Amino acid sequence: MKELAFKYNVTEFCTALKPFAYKYFFQKGYNKVLYFDPDIYVFSPLNKIYGELDSASMVITPHYQTPEPIYSGIFREGNILFAGIFNLGFCGISNTIEGNRIIEWWCQRLQSHCYADRTDGLHVDQKWVDFIPVLFSHVHVERGLGYNIAIWNWHEREISYHDDKYWVKNRITGGAEEPVIFYHYSNYKFKLANSFENFIPVNSNRFPDIKTISEFYANLLVQENISSKLSILKYSFSTFDNNMPVTQFHRRFLRQLLDMNVSFEDPFLTEPQDSFFNILQKSGLIVYNDSSDKLNEINFKGFDRKIAYINTMAKITKKILGFERYALLCKFMFRYVRPENQLFLLKQDKIKPSFVNENRYINV
């Protein structure tokens, strides 16, 4: 379990535990178990879902379901393809023979491959579920518009409020209204819940009808003082036992070492001389804060200026090498984007650095 917690970041680890939680509750004797992400609010009874689980082994919901000649959603279709057809913020599984087969199959994949990694074509737990309707016979895809409404289907689902209830209809094709069953507040900024303008996703202005249901939830969060509570929470597996930060680089190094059958009793420990921490420290790979993991194109100060410098260096390199060799260099450097391919930085005799076997991930 410690290796699992170390090699995965907080999102990867939490989602990897999902099928194991199902297994736990089934062993406790529960016949139908529903999972909801913590940012989901249930507005209406779930009788239909429980009814579907009388005959279905699993109930899942797609990110969206209305075809358009010209796609109008907020997320690029390529992002949806990367994330998976189904959103696993919700799923229901029944304690049947096939339900347990699904869980066992899912556990095996997530124990080793629950990464958010575009190169490997993985998006934590939910990308694997694309296989499930094909591999198993009794899987119900819930197409009701009121289930799992979220930013990825705002373009498809128009929300209204009347008769003391939230309703949804198809924004693209029209049709009758359906009650909102549960709404998924994904991409909302919970640490900023005290300010509605900051709490709601910035691109929500394209769909003003979602404002009312967003304000409803924001008010509940303010009453619970959620923003203050979240600000003091710390991920339990974010540091070694001496409080030095565990970075994404460290996690991916361990991932590759495990693939090479190099393991550690507890990678969070710092005391043993042959500990993972000491190997990293001897190699100059320990940091004193985890700010590098939090930096991106949006919050990196002076990002545009730094990119301009890199572009200038690239032009000089191209001029020196010539275009053909420069293009070859770019292809070669792609390997170094992956932390797993930089084990040569580790100073340890028993670790023999090698590139990831790219043949494991064949393009189809």
Flag whether pLDDT at 123 surpasses 60: yes
DSSP state for residue 334 in the 8-state scheme: H
Report CA torsion sign: 150, 218, 49, 26.
positive
43 within 8 A of 220, measured Cβ to Cβ: no
Q: Number of helices (H) and strands (E) in the chain: give both, helices first.
A: 15, 11
pLDDT at 363: 34
Distance (Å, whole) CA 347 – CA 164: 65
pLDDT at 330: 87
352/363: higher pLDDT = 352
Distance (Å, whole) CA 349 – CA 55: 56
At residue 76's C-alpha, the angle toward residues 327 and 195, to 5°, is 120
Distance (Å, whole) CA 250 – CA 255: 9
* Arithmetic mean of pLDDT, 343-349: 78
pLDDT at 148: 98
Mean pLDDT, the chain, as a whole number? 89
Note the helical H segments in the chain: 2-7, 10-16, 18-27, 47-52, 77-83, 97-112, 132-135, 196-199, 211-223, 226-231, 248-259, 276-282, 291-294, 303-321, 323-337
Max mean pLDDT among 45-59, 194-208, 316-330, 341-355 falls in 45-59
> Which pLDDT band, with edges at 50, 70 and 90, does 349 fall under?
low
- Joined tokens for residue 109: 């994949």
Identify the CA nearest to 234 among candidates 222, 243, 225. 243
Give every strand in the sheet of 86-94, ordered side by side: 32-36, 86-94, 58-62, 139-141
Flag whether pLDDT at 307 surpasses 80: yes
User: Whose structure tokens read 């572009």?
Assistant: 311
Flag whether pLDDT at 359 surpasses 70: no
pLDDT digits (tens, 9 = 90+) for 279-294: 999 999 988 876 666 6
The fraction of the chain above a pLDDT of 70, given in percent, is 92
Which of 179-188, 252-261, 284-293, 322-331 has the lowest average pLDDT?
284-293
Distance (Å, whole) CA 1 – CA 268: 11
Neighbour-count burial of 334, counting CB atoms closer than 10 A to its CB (0-12 exposed, 13-18 middle, 19+ buried) = exposed
One-letter amino acid at 275 equals S
One-letter amino acid at 75 equals F
122 within 8 A of 113, measured Cβ to Cβ: yes
Flag whether pLDDT at 8 surpasses 70: yes
Flag whether pLDDT at 358 surpasses 70: no
- Joined tokens for residue 300: 């990196």
pLDDT at 361: 35
Distance (Å, whole) CA 253 – CA 308: 30
pLDDT digits (tens, 9 = 90+) for 141-170: 999 999 999 999 999 999 999 999 999 999
pLDDT digits (tens, 9 = 90+) for 188-243: 998 888 888 889 998 888 999 999 999 999 999 999 888 888 878 888 899 999 99
Distance (Å, whole) CA 246 – CA 331: 29
Q: How far is CA 290 from CA 114, 244, 246, in A?
A: 22, 9, 7
Q: How far is CA 74 from CA 15, 141, 151, in A?
A: 24, 23, 7
